[in-house]
Amino acid sequence: MTQDDIKTPDTQPDLGRRKFLNTAALVGLSGAGLSVGLSACKSKDEAAPAEAAPGTPAEAVGTSKHEVAPGQLDEYYSFSSGGHSGEVRIYGIPSGRELKRIPVFNTDCLVGWGITNESKAILGTKPNGTPKYTTGDTHHVHQTYTDGTYDGKYMFVNDKLHGRLARIRMDTMECDKILEIPNIQGFHGTFTDKRDPVDAGINHTTRVFCGSEFSVPLINDGRDLEDGSKYKNLFSCVDSETMEMRWQVLIDGNCDLVASSYDGKLAATNQYNTEMGIHYEDMMASEMDACLFFHVARIEEAVKAGKVSYLGNSKVPVVDGTRAASKDPKTALTCYVPIPKNPHGVNITPDGKYYACSGKLSPTATVIEHASVLKWFDGELANPRDAVVGEPEIGLGPLHTGFDNKGNAYTTLFLDSQIVKWNVEAAIKSYKGDKAAKPVVDRLDVHYQPGHGFTSMGETKESDGRYFISDNKFSKDRFLPVGPLHAETAQLIDISGDKMKLVADHSVYSEPHDSIIVRRDIIKTRQVYNLDEFPNAVMDPKDSGVFRNGKKVTVKLISQAPAFSMREFKVKKGDEITLILTNHDKVEDLTHGFGIPKYDIQFIVNPQETKSVTFVADKPGVYWCYCTNFCHALHLEMRTRMIVEA
Ligand code: RUQ
Ligand code: CUA
Ligand code: CA
């Protein structure tokens, strides 16, 4: 593919420096010189900004309407993935204040994630054992729904690297379960079901849909290594309550991002590699790829009826959703809707009627009608492509789309470094041949190369049309330079008016992928734990002490500012110590830490929380275990001595 293969829409802006950026990125994408293109894109071609960065509209400077005054709280939470950091971040919107980082697939010595026995159990590491993985790559966060909007119960995030799905409790904002999905690689898109039609008694989401991007030999144990035609992909469904696998669908082509319908009937994934190519040029070979729809009820009926197979040792039922098995619409489990060239991103409108699937290598977004896809499954629509009701040209490199509450879509244009606002109904009219209908209503430059974009409450039926955030892939000159690794930019855009207005640049640590913006009243968090929740809690200071069972030693300890319940404790070299620490402080925010020098242990205990660690006391000597979390005027004095006798 050359640059000429990408059609340029007529509304293309032509600004010198931006054009350079576009060209560079295009060269990169064309494959003619990926590294050349991207390095040109990153090169400093202008001096550091003095006041406002180049390209900043004058009205964006010092906009006070969107500032949050000291002591005031934000209106929204933004829950964001942390990419290759393996964590999830929480920001306040519109301020952009970073409120929390939730460790998930990483190790975190603040909370002791990956260090305490409790977190190791969630990560699947045996106490005293080596973790199976210490890395992760979080991309997509979505929460549970009741009646088409968030219910504040759980949040889910994927690990693209090792194919895991993690659940986060929203009351404590901590990860409580992790599942590894069998027989897949490149678990990318995920989405919770917005309505479960069949699960009586449970009033919220129970399905989490998961798409795998990289095809691998179905049983990946050394067979079929070279024969790409034997590589396959699976679309998976996880039960949100048990965090166990429900089913998998064997498909042709790959999965990428995932969407779910508001009526619980369909799940969707965009496919950029219908070619099943192994190399990128193969993946760009055909002009059309697809958006693949899954008929949830039929899949679950097939599972119930035992029309399933099992892969290797996996106990997960697999149904057949390949093209060959989907020939008869009336029995098909899947529907492949053709979409122009390597689409990325599929999102559903808040009224539940349409999906927008972006072309990426085509300057179009495709509008697919939900009801028409259902009609195809009923045998009432001849061709899956007939479900397409709009295909506006919106700009170069369209990726993710968010929606407001007025029928408008906002799509990130990676190559144009813009957000394009387009009207869904106008797109449908223009597709029908109405020359007067102009789908594109506004464009806004962002800085630079946006990937993800999402609106406030935009993935719910309560989409409110207030904010759009553009998570950009390059920040270049927007922030003080901090060495070769730049800060990333999350740009806040006011979408409440006719024209989009850039109101803030928020710097973020590499590398946020998708996020959601959730109204603050939906989130109800707890401020303290309850001692009774922890079976191993040390309930009374009198219960603390050193308890020996041969070489196994349990040390029970309480923290209460400014002291630990034992001033010292003695163990012997070679003992296997399990140290249990319960925080008896009840005051909100009164967290203590526990660090053991030379033993590589550090963690915190929040008010009324219990955590434990297990280690072998292999180094004789005196070790000052100290409180690592500033808690009291005598925080520095808050210590206990671990004495390891030779
Ligand atoms: S996905 S740029 Cu990053 Cu996981 Cu679309
Ligand atoms: Cu307890 Cu610092
Ligand atoms: Ca393709």
Ligand nearest to the CA of 634: 2
In a domain, 133, yes or no: yes
Residues 480 and 539 in one domain: no
* Helix then strand then coil, % of the chain, to nearest 5: 15, 40, 50
Query: Could you give the CA distance from residue 503 to residue 508 in angstroms, rounded to a whole number?
Result: 16
> Residue 487: what pLDDT?
95
Q: How far is the CA of 558 from the centre of ligand 2 (A)?
A: 12
Residues 539 and 490 in one domain: no
In a domain, 19, yes or no: no
CATH number, residue 329? 2.130.10.10
Whole-number CA gyration radius for the chain: 26
Q: How far is the CA of 630 from the centre of ligand 2 (A)?
A: 5
DSSP secondary structure letter of residue 384: G
| Best mutation site among 514, 515, 516 for ligand 1 pocket (most ligand atoms within 8 Å of CB) | 514
Using CA positions, which residue lies closest to atom 2 of ligand 1?
Answer: 451
**Number of separate helices (H) and strands (E) present in the chain:** 7, 40
What's the token pair of residue 85? Answer: 């950091």
Point out the ligand 2 atom lying closest to the alpha carbon of residue 631.
2
Q: Which domain holds residue 140?
A: 75-522
Residues 385 and 518 in one domain: yes
Residues 345 and 321 in one domain: yes
Point out the ligand 1 atom lying closest to the alpha carbon of residue 471.
2
Q: What percent of the chain has pLDDT over 90?
A: 85
Point out the ligand 2 atom lying closest to the alpha carbon of residue 636.
2
Residue 40 has pLDDT above 80, yes or no: no
What's the token pair of residue 416? Answer: 């144009």
Residues 507 and 551 in one domain: no
pLDDT band at 514 (very low <50, low <70, confident <90, very high): very high
Angle at 186 between CA 185 and CA 192, to 5 degrees: 110
pLDDT band at 207 (very low <50, low <70, confident <90, very high): very high
Name which of 17-31, 201-215, 283-297 the model is least confident about.
Answer: 17-31
Mean pLDDT, residues 584-600 taken together? 97
Using CA positions, which residue lies closest to atom 4 of ligand 1?
Answer: 139
Q: Which secondary-structure segment (H or E) carries 269?
A: strand 266-271
Are residues 254 and 273 in contact, defined by beta-carbon separation less than 8 angstroms?
yes
Point out the ligand 1 atom lying closest to the alpha carbon of residue 189.
4
Which residue has tokens 């509450």? 405
Q: How far is the CA of 307 from the centre of ligand 2 (A)?
A: 59
Ligand nearest to the CA of 561: 2
* Residue list, ligand 2 pocket, CB within 6 Å: 561, 592, 627, 629-632, 635, 638
Ligand nearest to the CA of 454: 1
CATH number, residue 612? 2.60.40.420
Which of 522, 550, 574 is where one domain is finished? 522
> Residue 58: what pLDDT?
44
Q: How far is the CA of 72 from the centre of ligand 2 (A)?
A: 28
Tell me the backbone φ, ψ of residue 558, rounded to 5 degrees.
-120, 145
Q: For 217-275, how does the pLDDT look when each residue is reduced to its tens digit (9 = 90+)? A: 999 999 999 988 889 999 999 999 999 999 999 999 999 999 999 999 999 999 999 99
Query: Could you give the CA distance from residue 76 to residue 627 in angstroms, rounded to a whole number?
Result: 33
E strand residue ranges, 60-132: 76-81, 87-93, 98-103
In a domain, 465, yes or no: yes
pLDDT band at 203 (very low <50, low <70, confident <90, very high): low
Q: How far is the CA of 14 from the centre of ligand 3 (A)?
A: 29
Q: How far is the CA of 342 from the centre of ligand 3 (A)?
A: 4
Query: Could you give the CA distance from residue 75 to residue 78 in angstroms, rounded to a whole number?
Result: 10
Query: Could you give the CA distance from residue 122 to residue 391 in angstroms, rounded to a whole number?
Result: 45
Q: How far is the CA of 341 from the centre of ligand 3 (A)?
A: 5
Ligand nearest to the CA of 470: 1
Q: How far is the CA of 34 from the centre of ligand 1 (A)?
A: 18
Residues 452 and 571 in one domain: no
Point out the ligand 2 atom lying closest to the alpha carbon of residue 559.
1
Q: How far is the CA of 362 from the centre of ligand 1 (A)?
A: 17
3-class secondary-structure state, position 206: coil
CA atoms within 13 A of residue 101's CA, in its CB half-sphere: 21
Which residue has tokens 């790829």? 289
In a domain, 58, yes or no: no
| Best mutation site among 138, 400, 488, 510 for ligand 1 pocket (most ligand atoms within 8 Å of CB) | 400
Closest CA to 493 of 461, 454, 462, 531: 454
Point out the ligand 1 atom lying closest to the alpha carbon of residue 400.
5
Residues 518 and 535 in one domain: no
Point out the ligand 2 atom lying closest to the alpha carbon of residue 561.
1
- Terminal C-alpha separation, the chain: 70
Residues 369 and 475 in one domain: yes
Q: How far is the CA of 621 from the centre of ligand 2 (A)?
A: 23
Angle at 91 between CA 90 and CA 95, to 5 degrees: 170
Residues 546 and 412 in one domain: no
In a domain, 258, yes or no: yes
Ligand nearest to the CA of 271: 3
Ligand nearest to the CA of 84: 1
Q: How far is the CA of 212 from the centre of ligand 3 (A)?
A: 16
Are residues 205 and 297 in contact, defined by beta-carbon separation less than 8 angstroms?
no
Residues 448 and 549 in one domain: no
Mean pLDDT, residues 9-13 taken together? 38
Q: How far is the CA of 99 from the centre of ligand 3 (A)?
A: 39
| Most distant pair of Cα atoms in the chain: their distance | 88
Are residues 77 and 93 in contact, defined by beta-carbon separation less than 8 angstroms?
yes
Residue 10 has pLDDT above 80, yes or no: no
The structural domain count of the chain equals 2
> Residue 49: what pLDDT?
34
> Residue 387: what pLDDT?
98
Are residues 418 and 443 in contact, defined by beta-carbon separation less than 8 angstroms?
yes
Ligand nearest to the CA of 585: 2
Residues 573 and 499 in one domain: no
Point out the ligand 2 atom lying closest to the alpha carbon of residue 632.
2
Q: How far is the CA of 202 from the centre of ligand 3 (A)?
A: 39
In a domain, 42, yes or no: no
What's the token pair of residue 605? Answer: 């205990």
Query: What are the residues whose beta carbons fall under 8 Å from the beta carbon of 127, sequence distance 6 or more?
Result: 117, 120, 121, 578, 614
Query: Could you give the CA distance from residue 116 to residue 611 in angstroms, rounded to a whole number?
Result: 7
In a domain, 40, yes or no: no
Which of 481, 498, 522 is where one domain is finished? 522
pLDDT band at 199 (very low <50, low <70, confident <90, very high): low
In a domain, 218, yes or no: yes
Residues 359 and 392 in one domain: yes
Point out the ligand 2 atom lying closest to the alpha carbon of residue 562.
1
| Best mutation site among 452, 474, 488, 510 for ligand 1 pocket (most ligand atoms within 8 Å of CB) | 452
Say whether the peptide bond before residue 329 is cis (omega within 30 degrees of 0): no
Using CA positions, which residue lies closest to atom 1 of ligand 2?
Answer: 592
Q: How far is the CA of 291 from the centre of ligand 3 (A)?
A: 11
Q: CA 539, 541, 543, 549 torsion: positive or negative?
A: positive
Q: What percent of the chain has pLDDT over 70?
A: 88
Give the β-pairing of 552-560 and 138-146. unpaired
Point out the ligand 1 atom lying closest to the alpha carbon of residue 140.
4
Q: For 61-116, how does the pLDDT look when each residue is reduced to its tens digit (9 = 90+)? A: 445 678 999 999 999 999 999 999 999 999 999 999 999 999 999 999 999 999 99
Q: For 480-492, how does the pLDDT look when each residue is reduced to its tens digit (9 = 90+)? A: 999 999 999 999 9
Q: How far is the CA of 638 from the centre of ligand 2 (A)?
A: 6
pLDDT band at 550 (very low <50, low <70, confident <90, very high): very high
Ligand nearest to the CA of 254: 3
Q: For 351-374, how does the pLDDT look when each residue is reduced to its tens digit (9 = 90+)? A: 999 999 999 999 999 999 999 999
| Best mutation site among 513, 515, 516 for ligand 1 pocket (most ligand atoms within 8 Å of CB) | 513
Point out the ligand 2 atom lying closest to the alpha carbon of residue 629.
2
Interhelix angle for 34-42 vs 16-30, to 10°?
150
Point out the ligand 1 atom lying closest to the alpha carbon of residue 344.
5
Q: How far is the CA of 133 from the centre of ligand 1 (A)?
A: 23
> Residue 304: what pLDDT?
95
Q: What is the mean pLDDT of the chain?
A: 90
Ligand nearest to the CA of 161: 1
Name which of 43-52, 141-150, 192-201, 383-392 the model is least confident about.
Answer: 43-52
Which residue has tokens 């965090």? 243
Closest CA to 348 of 450, 215, 195, 169: 195
Which of 522, 545, 568 is where one domain is finished? 522
* Residue list, ligand 1 pocket, CB within 6 Å: 139-140, 188, 344, 399-400, 451-452, 513-514
